[in-house]
Amino acid sequence: MEGVDHLADERKKAEFNVEAMKIVWAGSQHNLEVSNRISKLVADDPAFRKDDRTMLPRKELFKNTLRKAAYAWKRINELRLSEEEASKLRFYVDETAYTDLHWGMFIPAIKGQGTDEQQRKWLPLAYKMQIIGCYAQTELGHGSNVQGLETTATFDPHTDEFVIHSPTLTSSKWWPGGLGKVSTHAVTYARLIIDGKDHGVHGFIVQLRSLEDHRPLPGITVGDIGMKFGNGAYNTMDNGVLRFDHVRIPRNQMLMKVSQVTREGKYKQSDVPRQLVYGTMVYVRQRIVADASCYLSRAVCIATRYSAVRRQFGSQNGGPETQVIDYKTQQSRLFPLLASAYAFRFVGEWLEWLYTDVMQRLQANDFSTLPEAHACTAGLKSLTTSVTADGIEECRKLCGGHGYLCTSGLPELFAVYVPACTYEGDNIVLLLQVARFLMKTVSQIGTGKQPVGTIAYMGRIEHLMQCRCNVQRGFAELSADLVEAAVAHCQLIVVSKFIEKLQQDIPGEGVKQQLEALCGIYYLSLLHKHQGDFLATSYLTPKQSALANDQLRALYSKVRPNAIALVDAFNYSDHFLSSILGRYDGNVYPKLYEAAWKDPLNESVVPDGYHEYVRPLLKQQLHTARL
Ligand X SMILES: CCCCCCCC/C=C\CCCCCC(=O)SCCNC(=O)CCNC(=O)[C@H](O)C(C)(C)COP(=O)(O)OP(=O)(O)OC[C@H]1O[C@@H](n2cnc3c(N)ncnc32)[C@H](O)[C@@H]1OP(=O)(O)O
Ligand Y SMILES: Cc1cc2nc3c(=O)[nH]c(=O)nc-3n(C[C@H](O)[C@H](O)[C@H](O)COP(=O)(O)OP(=O)(O)OC[C@H]3O[C@@H](n4cnc5c(N)ncnc54)[C@H](O)[C@@H]3O)c2cc1C
- Binding residues vs ligand Y (CB under 6 A): 101, 135-138, 143-144, 175-177, 234, 239, 419, 422-423, 425-426, 428-429, 432
CB of 142 to ligand X, least distance (A): 9
The SS3 call for residue 190 is: strand
What is the spatial order of strands in the sheet that 220-224 belongs to? 173-174, 240-244, 220-224
Count CA atoms closer than 13 A to 422's CA, side-chain side. Answer: 9
- Minimum CB distance to ligand X smaller for 42 or for 107: 107
Length of the chain: 627
Q: How far apart are CA 356 and CA 286, in angstroms?
A: 10
Q: How far apart are CA 521 and CA 507, in angstroms?
A: 21
Does the annotation count 352 as an active-site position? no
Counting contacts by CB under 6 A, is residue 557 touching ligand X? Answer: no
- Give the one residue of 147, 363, 470, 604 binding ligand X; rule: CB under 6 A: 147
DSSP annotation string for 254-290: B--SSEEE-TT--EEE-SS-GGGGGHHHHHHHHHHHH
- Give the one residue of 138, 183, 293, 297 binding ligand X; rule: CB under 6 A: 138
- Minimum CB distance to ligand Y smaller for 309 or for 432: 432
Q: 241 in the Ramachandran plot: left (φ > 0), alpha (ψ -120 to 50) or beta?
A: beta
- Give the one residue of 36, 170, 231, 275 binding ligand X; rule: CB under 6 A: 275
Counting contacts by CB under 6 A, is residue 278 touching ligand X? Answer: yes
Return all residues near 533 (Cβ < 8 A) that are at least 6 apart: 488, 539
CB of 101 to ligand Y, least distance (A): 5
Q: How far apart are CA 155 and CA 252, in angstroms?
A: 11
DSSP annotation string for 100-135: HHIIIIIHHHHHHHS-HHHHHHHHHHHHTTSS-EEE
Residues 348-377, one symbol each (x = binds ligand X by CB under 6 A, - = not), give ----------------------xx--x---
CB of 262 to ligand Y, least distance (A): 28
- Give the one residue of 6, 402, 440, 528 binding ligand X; rule: CB under 6 A: 440
- Give the one residue of 423, 464, 496, 534 binding ligand X; rule: CB under 6 A: 423
- Give the one residue of 425, 451, 520, 582 binding ligand X; rule: CB under 6 A: 425
Crossing angle between the packed helical segments 18-26 and 511-529, to the nearest 10 degrees: 60
Q: Which of 393, 394, 412, 424 is catalytic?
A: 424
CB of 437 to ligand X, least distance (A): 6
Q: How far apart are CA 553 and CA 575, in angstroms?
A: 34
Q: How far apart are CA 16 and CA 19, in angstroms?
A: 9
Q: 324 in the Ramachandran plot: left (φ > 0), alpha (ψ -120 to 50) or beta?
A: alpha
User: Is residue 324 within 8 Å of residue 401, measured between CB atoms?
Assistant: no
Q: How far apart are CA 627 and CA 623, in angstroms?
A: 7
Counting contacts by CB under 6 A, is residue 135 touching ligand X? Answer: yes
Residues 280-319 that bind ligand X (CB under 6 A): 281-282, 284, 287-288, 291
- Minimum CB distance to ligand Y smaller for 382 or for 571: 382
Number of H helices, E strands in the chain: 22, 11
CB of 432 to ligand X, least distance (A): 7
Q: Which does 576 bind (CB under 5 to 8 A by kind): ligand Y, ligand X, none?
A: none
Counting contacts by CB under 6 A, is residue 114 touching ligand X? Answer: no
- Minimum CB distance to ligand X smaller for 189 or for 498: 189
Q: Which does 234 bind (CB under 5 to 8 A by kind): ligand X, ligand Y, none?
A: ligand Y
Q: Which does 583 bind (CB under 5 to 8 A by kind): ligand X, ligand Y, none?
A: none
User: Is residue 522 within 8 Å of residue 340, measured between CB atoms?
Assistant: yes
Q: Which does 125 bind (CB under 5 to 8 A by kind): ligand X, ligand Y, none?
A: none
The CB-nearest residue to ligand Y is 143
Q: List residues bridging with 156 in a β-sheet.
A: 161
- Minimum CB distance to ligand X smaller for 305 or for 436: 436
Residues 163-222 that bind ligand X (CB under 6 A): 177
259, containing H or E segment: strand 259-261
Q: Which residues are designated catalytic?
A: 424
List residues near ligand X by CB under 6 A.
Answer: 100-101, 104-105, 135, 137-138, 143-147, 177, 275, 278, 281-282, 284, 287-288, 291, 370-371, 374, 420, 423-425, 429, 433, 436, 440
